[in-house]
């Protein structure tokens, strides 16, 4: 296969970026999308040009590192598939493909297709955990957990933290990411103890990091490679309302009006 690529090239966070045109020749349909980029990079290096920088690691769809918008869709055309698991047989000989980084205010571009997702770290650090020390915990079967709760928790916990939800959202919202963690822990008895405090701290941090609000486009669900459902956003909202009027020492901000409170 021969393809024409338009790839976002940007030297650094403050440098201007542009789409550069490359020809990808002799691509086989068995290649993964990233292997196709490897081929392009190898030829760029041989020609003395700088290769395209992109994030990737496990190449089996679980680490959440890869992050490319392909023809306007985060992770590309295949449903429930990360870029690294996308294969070239999804394209046709002669196709033109546009490749861009995640685009969101909270995810500044570092270089080319690499963005800074550390805002996600700070949302988790704000309270995305159960405050347990190592040691001194009861037996694993001491607290029984109904199977449906364990299954719901697992459905939410499958999130790989790639950020496609944010990239897909017209508002650059991190509601699906935050909702997945809040819902995972809220479904378990161990997580109920801190549930009110957690939802307030995490949503507050989400807004502080510059993510937008949810206005029910559901693009996040469509882009999510793990099929995390928007019903978890409803769950997040429910948890948030339950935390009112007093979840933390500070007055909790409303996630639906948060952006207005920012400068």
Partner 1 sequence: MILDGKCPAGPLSEKWARQRHELKLINPANKRKYTIIVVGTGLAGASAAATLGELGYRVEAFCYQDSPRRGHSIAAQGGINAAKNYPNDGDSIFRLFYDTIKGGDFRAREANVYRLALLSNNIIDQAVAQGVPFARDYAGYLENRSFGGAQVSRTFFARGQTGQQLLLGAYAALSRQVKAGTVRLHPRTEMLDLVLVDGEAKGITVRNLVTGRIDSHAADAVCLCTGGYANVFYLSTNAMGSNVTAAWRACKKGAFFANPCFTQIHPTCIPVSGDHQSKLTLMSESLRNDGRVWVPLKKRDARRPHDIPETERDYYLERKYPSFGNLAPRDIASRSAKEVCDEGRGIGTSGYGVYLDFSDAIRRLGEDVIRQRYGNLFEMYEQITGEDAYRQPMRIYPAPHYTMGGLWVDYNLESTIPGLFVLGEANFSDHGANRLGASALMQGLADGYFIIPSTIAHYLARTSPGAAGPDHPEFRKSREDTEALAQKLLTIQGRKTVNEFHRDLGRIMWDHVGMARSRESLSTALQLIPELRNEFWENVKVPGQGKDLNQELEKAGRVADFLEFGELMARDALHRNESCGGHFRAEYQMPDGEAQRDDENFCYVAAWEFRGLDKDPVLHKEPLTFENVELAVRSYK
From CA 216, how far away is CA 233, in angstroms rounded? 9
User: According to CB under 8 A, which one of 15, 19, 20, 132 is a site residue for partner 1?
Assistant: 132
- 214 near 142, Cβ under 8 Å? no
Work out which of 65, 173, 209, 237 binds partner 1, going by CB under 8 A: 65
Per CB under 8 A, contacts with partner 1 among 169-208 are 184-185, 187-188, 190-191
Instruction: Scan residues 99-128 and list those touching partner 1 (CB under 8 A).
Output: 110-111, 114, 116-118, 120-121, 124-128
Query: What's the helix, strand, coil split of the chain in %, to 5?
Result: 35, 15, 50
74 versus 191: smaller Cβ distance to partner 1: 191
Give the tokens for residue 141: 């079967």
Alpha-carbon distances of 248 from 122, 223, 240, rounded to whole Å: 18, 33, 11
Burial 89-123 (b: 16+ CB within 10 A, else e): eebeeebebebbbbebebbbbbbbbbbebebbeeb
Given 23, 42, 93, 260, the residue binding partner 1 (CB under 8 A): 42
Is 20 a binding residue for partner 1 by CB under 8 A? The answer is no
Name the one range near partner 1 by CB under 8 A: 16-24, 80-88, 92-100, 248-256: 80-88
Asked whether position 93 contacts partner 1 by CB under 8 A, the answer is no
Nearer Cβ to partner 1 (48/245): 48
Q: Shortest gap between Cβ of 4 and partner 1 (angstroms)?
A: 19
Counting contacts by CB under 8 A, is residue 30 touching partner 1?
yes
């Amino acid at each position: 296969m021969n393809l024409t690529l338009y790839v976002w090239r940007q030297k650094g966070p403050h440098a201007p970026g542009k789409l550069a045109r490359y020809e990808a020749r002799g691509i086989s349909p068995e290649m993964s999308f990233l292997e196709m980029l490897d081929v392009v990079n190898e030829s760029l290096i041989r020609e003395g040009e700088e290769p395209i920088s992109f994030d990737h690691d496990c190449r089996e769809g679980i680490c959440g590192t890869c992050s490319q918008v392909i023809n306007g869709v985060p992770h590309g055309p295949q449903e429930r598939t990360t870029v690294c698991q996308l294969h070239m047989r999804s394209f046709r000989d002669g196709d033109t493909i546009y490749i861009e980084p995640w685009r969101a205010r909270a995810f500044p571009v570092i270089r080319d297709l690499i963005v800074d997702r550390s805002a996600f770290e700070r949302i988790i650090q704000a309270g995305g955990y159960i405050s347990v020390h190592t040691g001194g915990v009861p037996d694993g079967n001491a607290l029984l957990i109904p199977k449906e709760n364990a299954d719901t928790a697992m459905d939410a916990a499958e999130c790989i933290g790639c950020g496609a939800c944010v990239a897909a959202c017209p508002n650059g919202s991190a509601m699906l990411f935050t909702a997945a963690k809040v819902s995972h822990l809220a479904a378990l008895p161990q997580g109920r103890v801190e549930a009110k405090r957690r939802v307030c701290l995490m949503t507050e941090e989400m807004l502080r990091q510059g993510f937008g609000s949810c206005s029910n486009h559901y693009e996040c669900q469509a882009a999510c490679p793990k099929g995390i459902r928007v019903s978890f956003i409803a769950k997040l909202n429910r948890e948030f309302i339950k935390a009112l009027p007093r979840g933390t020492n500070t007055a909790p901000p409303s996630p639906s009006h948060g952006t207005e409170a920012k400068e």
